[in-house]
Amino acid sequence: MPSSDLAAPARDRVTVVTIARRAGVASSTVSRALNGDPRISAATRERIAAIAVELGYMPDALARTLSGGRSGLIGLVLGPVENPFYVAMLEEVVAQAAARGLRPLILHLGAQAIEAETMRALQQYRVDGCLVTSARLSSDIADLCGRRGVPVVMLNRVTRLRASSVSCDNLGGAAEMARFLLGQGHRRFALVGADTASSTALEREQGFSQALAAAGLQPLRLSGGNSSWLGGYAAGERMAALPPAERPDAVFAVSDIMALGVMDALRRHGLRVPEDVSVAGFDDIAESARPTYALTTVSQPLVPMVRRGLDLLLARIQEPDLPDEVTLLRGRLTLRASTRERPPAA
């Protein structure tokens, strides 16, 4: 049936064979020449390179992969993007991956569960490695990757699973924030956590509480749902509803996005930040730097975190049997206008 014969001649790719014919050599010579094999003479190499440029040759990444190489693809499993921190992380990962010649393939994005489709994609496309930022169901991913020999690095998650991880020193950062607030004269604290207990959130709660306990204090625990603006807002409303005598004079939320919700709720109910209540967060997302928020927070070292994560991943791609490694990077206290010195006594 020569019905669709006209569809065929449309696009003919430039391959090593095209170049080989043009140069009068074998295709293997072209392959070696372009890959800098020292066995090929300089003259031949340059001649072939010239033809390649002339024809606009681009090696087919898929064929190269099939022939035993790496695909250059890294699978991305991303958490809830309603939290701008994950968006910033995505942006940084994409930029740094591109600089290293890697292409990010999105396997999953969002807070909901990971579908079977994702797992299939992970197996069908020969992903060299995986970067995971979502905790939910990450165990399945890690498990599957482990069985198939695909290295995994967790970003911003510490896990007991077989995988390396890079994370901020959540415990230390939260503790440092607690000590800072204590030093400012605050004595009545609220701690806003998230219901969906991620390792990150738990560590921050713990670090904050422990530092307060060292000063003989205990925070009022408020939780308002998941780690989102709305969750923080709900917690803030609950706090604003307290009788003034019981109301804390400093709030620490385990994520900036929640802290912003807390601030908005407090202000909406007539409380001033920082005059009446100091508010602090963790992450340092872009929104926190807005003059209307000016949130005091613990800045996560995003760029070094991603760099370290890719370092770990690439090392394990080249040497699959390297042992798992857990990296902790210290956060930095960023002081803004949402917190304020309290007079020593009431």
Partner DNA sequence: CGGAATCGTGCACACGTATGCGCAAAACTT
Partner DNA sequence: AAGTTTTGCGCATACGTGTGCACGATTCCG
- Contact residues for its own copies (CB under 8 A)? 7, 10-11, 58-63, 65-66, 71, 73, 76, 81-82, 84, 87, 90-91, 94-95, 98-99, 101, 103-106, 108-110, 115, 117-118, 120-121, 123-126, 148-149, 229-230, 233, 264, 267-268, 286-287, 290-292, 320
- Between residues 41 and 318, which has the closer beta carbon with respect to its own copies? 318
Give residue 60's Cα distance to chain centre. 30
Q: In the complex, which residues of this chain contact DNA (CB under 7 A)?
A: 13, 15-17, 24-29, 31-32, 34-35, 37-41, 43-44, 57-60, 63-64, 66-69
Q: Which helix (H) or strand (E) holds 97?
A: helix 84-99
Cβ atoms < 10 Å from Cβ of 150:
22
Beta-sheet pairing, 332-334 with 296-299: antiparallel
Task: Say which entry of DNA, its own copies, none residue 44 contacts (CB below 5 to 8 A, set by partner kind).
Answer: DNA
Task: Say which entry of its own copies, DNA, none residue 323 contacts (CB below 5 to 8 A, set by partner kind).
Answer: none
Task: Say which entry of its own copies, DNA, none residue 172 contacts (CB below 5 to 8 A, set by partner kind).
Answer: none
Q: How far is the CB of 334 from its own copies (least distance, A)?
A: 18
- Between residues 130 and 177, which has the closer beta carbon with respect to its own copies? 130
CA-closest candidate to residue 301, choices 327, 282, 328, 329: 329
Q: How far is the CB of 62 from its own copies (least distance, A)?
A: 5
Task: Say which entry of DNA, its own copies, none residue 35 contacts (CB below 5 to 8 A, set by partner kind).
Answer: DNA
Question: From CA 151, how far away is CA 314, in angstroms rounded?
Answer: 9
- Between residues 170 and 338, which has the closer beta carbon with respect to its own copies? 338
Q: How far is the CB of 22 from DNA (least distance, A)?
A: 12
Task: Say which entry of DNA, its own copies, none residue 16 contacts (CB below 5 to 8 A, set by partner kind).
Answer: DNA
Identity (one letter) of the amino acid at 297? T
Question: From CA 251, how far away is CA 192, in angstroms rounded?
Answer: 7
Task: Say which entry of DNA, its own copies, none residue 264 contacts (CB below 5 to 8 A, set by partner kind).
Answer: its own copies
At 247, list the tokens: 């109301």
For residue 206, give Cα distances in angstroms to 192, 213, 339. 12, 10, 21
- Between residues 163 and 174, which has the closer beta carbon with respect to its own copies? 163
Q: How far is the CB of 70 from DNA (least distance, A)?
A: 10
DSSP for 214-276?
HTT--PEEEE-SSSSHHHHHHHHHHHHTS-TTT--SEEEESSHHHHHHHHHHHHHTT--TTTT
At 313, list the tokens: 């991943």
Q: How far is the CB of 125 from its own copies (least distance, A)?
A: 5
Beta-sheet pairing, 278-283 with 220-223: unpaired
Task: Say which entry of DNA, its own copies, none residue 87 contacts (CB below 5 to 8 A, set by partner kind).
Answer: its own copies
